Structure 1
Amino acid sequence: MHDYAICDLCDAHEDRLQQGRLQIVEPEYQIYGGRRHFSGPVFTLKVFEDNSLVRSLLEQPGLGRVLVVDGGASRRCALLGGNLAALAADNGWAGLLICGSVRDRQELDAAEVGIRALGLHPRKSTKRGLGGQGDVGTALHFSGVRIRCGDWLYADEDGILISDEPLPPA
């Protein structure tokens, strides 16, 4: 259950939008996963065409967090598929925002987790060794926003917001 609507949050927090404390992610993301609405504190990851670290993080307790993955906007392979979406749901992640591609649409939609990604690609990512390569917990910049660990992400059918702190319901 959610207690917000993105449009209402924007209307109620216009001052925060003007101050840059509330940001709107560019509307280029497709909706996947069994949750259409999701929110939670952000944990960040930066990788490129290697989902080893995505798996490693999703194997850990999510604690209601949202994993935000800067995949360099690659459309050459998927960083998340059905198995990892199920793992995310089982481990208590609220959702994922992936600046990259995903695969296994039916399996993604069956997982009780929110997923936003640029699109679908049938090819799996590479695996560059144990643990993978990338930056965990780093500040990210993509799709017109700056995202840091500890920020809050709110998503519904109308869009995605990034806030520097939890927002009261509008």
Structure 2
Amino acid sequence: MADSFSTPDLADSAPDARALIHAWRDFGGVDNFTGVAVTVKCFEDNSLVKELVQQPGEGRVMVVDGGCSLRRALLGDQLAAKAVENGWSGLVIAGAVRDVEILATLALGVKALGACPQKTDKRGEGQRDLPIDIGGTTVRSGDYVYADRNGVLVSAEALLPL
């Protein structure tokens, strides 16, 4: 996996890379992370996020379309710790997280729109591996995700060796 890179440099060298335009905030203990995308669409219900972090991550990045809701946190300390334990590289969440002081200590990249102390209801809802729209950009499972303090890029082709 690439340890250090700059998304501005990647964007300059790969004009087909697409930026996920949002006011991302960094919450994880890892600033630069990359991996193959696994897409999730869910709204104020993190049942599918919980299910996925319990599976082998294999260095992948979960990209979650949470409808940009800041009313319920889609990730907290327990699920993030499970993601680390199972080898996920990071999560990009168009929604909220919680337990931010603990997330900052974990070896996991976490980008989200904000924080909220409220947990989600578990209704067993959500969809996986479908194209999702994040910040005007379509992300598909299998795309390559590159995230650092400058933002998030996705590309259909690998821009760096994983």
Pick the TM interval, shorter chain: over 0.9
Which residue of the partner structure matches residue 65 of structure 2? 70
1:3 and 1:114 map into 2 onto residues whose CA distance is: 13
| Uncovered stretches (5+) of structure 2, i.e. residues with no partner | none
Q: Which moved more, 1:75-84 or 1:1-10?
A: 1-10
How far is 1:142 from its partner? 2.0
Q: Does 1:155 align with 2:147?
A: yes
1:1-80 equivalences in 2 (<5 Å): 2-14=3-15, 16=16, 22-80=17-75
How far is 1:3 from its partner? 3.8
Q: Give % identity.
A: 45
1:95 and 1:150 map into 2 onto residues whose CA distance is: 15
How far is 1:168 from its partner? 3.6
Structure 2 counterpart of 1:44, one-letter code: T
How far is 1:27 from its partner? 3.8
How far is 1:61 from its partner? 0.3
Which of 1 and 2 has greater Rg?
A: 1
Structure 1 counterpart of 2:35, one-letter code: G
TM-score scaled by length of structure 1: 0.91
How far is 1:2 from its partner? 1.7
Q: Secondary structure at the match of 2:27?
A: strand
Which residue of the partner structure matches residue 19 of structure 1? none
1:159 and 1:99 map into 2 onto residues whose CA distance is: 13
TM-score scaled by length of structure 2: 0.95
1:108 to 83, 100, 103: 103
Q: Secondary structure at the match of 2:125?
A: coil
| Uncovered stretches (5+) of structure 1, i.e. residues with no partner | 17-21
Structure 2 counterpart of 1:99, one-letter code: A
Q: Secondary structure at the match of 2:59?
A: coil
Count of aligned pairs: 160
1:99 to 91, 94, 105: 94
Instruction: State the 4+ residue runs in structure 1 displaced beyond 3 angstroms.
Output: none
Q: Secondary structure at the match of 1:33?
A: coil
How far is 1:111 from its partner? 1.3
Which residue of the partner structure matches residue 128 of structure 2? 136
